[in-house]
Amino acid sequence: MKSRRYYRKSYLVEAVQFVVKEHEADTVACFFEVEDEKPHWYRNAIHRIVLRPYKRPLMVLGTRDGTADVYEGDWVIRDENGNISVCKPNLFKTTYNRSAGR
């Protein structure tokens, strides 16, 4: 069977990058104060934040398929159907272009 090429269908997604600033990494309370600026779908998907000494912060999100681990720098994406997924920074950069809107 001959292989064929496919293009990814174009659709709009919302995305938020998980970043913890140096001075905020000390306490979970400080982290959540900053998170108040994030969209409601992002805040509602958070199951827990794990701050581990000498390791990257970890966030656990609820997704359609269960839970997903999000490490600092990862992108949290909500598609047009409301499904939430996690994307590594290098894949996000090559797959998505910023929308001219908001």
Domain ranges within the chain, ordered by starting residue: 19-95
The strands making up 84-87's β-sheet, listed across from edge to edge, are 14-17, 75-78, 84-87
Q: What is the pLDDT of residue 30?
A: 43
Question: Cα(67)–Cα(29) distance, rounded to whole angstroms?
Answer: 22
Tell me the per-residue pLDDT of 7-42, one tens digit each, with 9 for 90 and over: 566 778 888 888 776 655 454 444 444 455 778 888
Please state the pTM of the whole predicted model.
Answer: 0.71
Cα dihedral sign for 73, 83, 93, 98? negative
Average pLDDT of the residues in 59-77:
90
**Where do the H-state alpha helices sit in 1-102?**
28-35, 40-45, 89-95
Q: Give the CA dihedral 84, 90, 94, 96, nearest 10 degrees.
A: 30
Q: What is the pLDDT of residue 34?
A: 45
Mean pLDDT for the chain?
77
